[in-house]
Structure 1
């Protein structure tokens, strides 16, 4: 189901705009070796990001932890954290990157999305993914073989419920069931992004989502992926703007001249080479980059301030 009204949302355009690239940040931002975030520190960093002019804060949904997983971080429940961020920030967009659509009931997701949008004064963008860990599916009573079908079905239910006016598609309905809606009422639909593919084709994503978010790949490969995306948009939503965003890990060196060196899912780099990398991404069609910061030997607040002073002006210009 197409989420048409979201394309007109000014907060969405603050993050995603044709021909431009904006920069956001992934939470939590952790010191090396830290696995359990300090909520007070995360809220302080979020307030700083808001004040310094970053465009978005991205929140992951990691339901369960295991010693067998490569990511040991104890992520907070995304809706609890998004509620706190809505109350603690003023301008920065809040984005789920991504709620696991296949492991939560879609009406619960829709209710939480509407609530977050209301608390943040329409700054929320709903990113949805399907997850990729079979043991989590089993633990939550789901079958990974149903992932693709469940993603499409749940997307349709969420999209109907977070439109204006809201429409509830029930799992089951008795003959005397009332017609439900979700409150508070929205003036515009909550924008919906596909984070990863969710087992769907790019044509399906282009028809149904406001944009597509992927992990970092080497520049040539990323340009190829963007072209595949543009081709899909041309076939399936030729008159619409559809965003393309990338999650990029960055270990920012204190040496501004340090050249970029590849690390898993990103780069160890000085700020000058980072600007060049981001300029290349903008030229190849990326609209937004979510930085997953690593702070080897540096204070995270110092990294944010350096990025705000030396990197953001090349992309955000004089816009507030």
Structure 2
């Protein structure tokens, strides 16, 4: 497996746009568009490879206390931030594409890629909320098979042809034109998830893998599996392996940042994070503990200036 960059790159899942209790900081509850713009612009200046946005349409009441109901739409959010930034890529992490017809997904994301000058990375996943699928008329039990075919349909619909064609069991289309076309000749499709099915799907159908919750000690076995699958099936082309790091704090925190948080000076953090590269990871998704937008953007700037050069 090989990635397009010779060094470990780094991106960030944006705060504010999703506010699950698993990771949201208290200050995010009162934050809004101005905060998202400031954070995205900081990422743009600080060398982040991408900013990412999640995807949920509606959260059932039973899950709302843990997940919250704050989930910004990824296409609208990333388009909004595209206009406020210059170079940082725009990642859906992840779009639950099985909730929508692939031609609709292609129309939305092709337009985003066109408007942003080719900065889209389309991350996709199977989804996990049954009520969401039911409300939208999608098949939750067959979501894996649906995603498999949707990936094939999206390859066609996001390709160079104005009139794409796909003939499958679930979707069948041809002689239906869509413009604008994506600015990129090939929109990267990164597959999210850490189940055996998701890992296989990423290896055989994706341009990259976005793990979901794998601790660093479990990554080598997953990477070995991806490598073995791609070699056995003779899958060619670049493949970007991702990892989500532990929470970070650059410097010595003056408050309780949690026992799992990696803290310390730039060299210490870089030494720990370089272990991901040694495993075969190409890009890391970082998250910083913070008590305010200002503290977060200070952390991001310090990471980009002081830690990133040592990655």
Per the normalisation by structure 2, the TM-score is 0.84
Q: Does 1:80 align with 2:68?
A: no
Aligned residues: 294
Of 210, 215, 218, 1:213 maps to: 210
- Kindly provide the CA deviation profile for residues 211-255 of structure 1, in whole angstroms up to 9, marking residues without a partner as x: 111034333211221111221222224543211101235141640
Q: Quick check: 1:59–1:82 contact (8 Å CA) kept in 2? A: yes
Equivalent in the alignment of 2:241: 244
Q: Residues 136-184 of structure 1, C-alpha deviation per residue, up to 9 Å, x if partnerless?
A: 22222223211122111222221110011240448467xxxx8112111
What TM-score do the two structures reach when normalised by structure 1? 0.81
Alignment gaps of 5+ in structure 1: 1-12, 316-320
**Aligned counterparts of 1:142 and 1:203: Cα–Cα separation in 2:** 23
Structure 2 counterpart of 1:22: 9
**In structure 1, distance between residues paired with 2:254 and 2:289:** 18
Deviation at 1:64, TM superposition (A): 1.7
Partner of residue 57, structure 2: 63
2:231 equivalent in structure 1: 234
Q: Give the Cα–Cα distance (whole angstroms) in 1 for the partners of residues 60 and 264 of structure 2.
A: 34
- Report the counterpart of residue 20 of structure 2 in structure 1: none
Give CA deviations for 1:90-132 in whole Å, capped at 9, x if unaligned: 1111111111011122111101111111111001111111111
Structure-2 change in CA distance of 1:111 and 1:152 (3 Å):
same
Distance 2:172 2:13 in 1: 38
CA RMSD, Structure 1 to Structure 2 (Å): 2.9
Spell out the pairing of 1:113-262 with structure 2 (5 A cutoff). Answer: 113-166=109-162, 167-169=164-166, 171=171, 179-186=175-182, 188-196=185-193, 200=197, 202-252=199-249, 254-255=251-252
Residue range with higher mean Cα deviation, 238-247 or 49-58? 238-247
Question: Paired residue for 2:43?
Answer: 49
TM-aligned CA distance change 1:144 to 1:262, over 3 Å = farther
